[in-house]
A = this chain, B = another copy of it.
Amino acid sequence: MLSTIPVQDTSIKHLRQACSNCSLRELCLPLGLSVEEMRHVDELVSQGRPVKRGDALYRAGEPFRALFAVKLGFFKTSVVSEDGREQVTGFHMTGDLIGLDAVSTDLHTCDAVALEDSQVCELPFVEMEELARKIPAIQHHLYKVMSREIVRDHGVMLLLGNMKAEERIAAFLLNLSQRFAQRGYSASSFHLRMTREEIGSYLGLKLETVSRTLSKFQEQGYIKVQNRLIEIIQIDALRQLVSNCQG
Chain B nearest CB from A68 CB (Å) reads 15
Closest B residue to A3 by beta carbon equals: B109
On whether the beta carbons of B109 and A2 are closer than 8 Å, the reply is yes
Question: How many chain copies does the complex carry?
Answer: 2
Interface: A38 (CB within 8 A):
no
**Chain B proximity mask over A44-67: 1 for CB below 8 Å, otherwise 0:** 000000000000000011000000
A142 within 8 A of B: yes
**Taking the complex as formed, is A32 at the interface, i.e. its CB lies under 8 A from any CB of chain B?**
no
Query: B160 touching A161 by the CB < 8 A rule?
Result: yes
Contact B161 A246, beta carbon cutoff 8 Å: no
Q: Scan A143-166; emit 1 where CB is below 8 A from any B CB, else 0.
A: 110111111011011101110000
> Chain A: residues with CB nearer than 8 A to chain B?
1-2, 60-61, 79, 81-85, 87, 89, 100-105, 109-110, 129, 132-133, 136, 139-140, 142-144, 146-151, 153-154, 156-158, 160-162, 201-204, 245-247
Cβ-closest 8 pairs across A and B: A82-B247, A103-B147, A153-B153, A83-B247, A161-B204, A160-B160, A104-B147, A81-B246
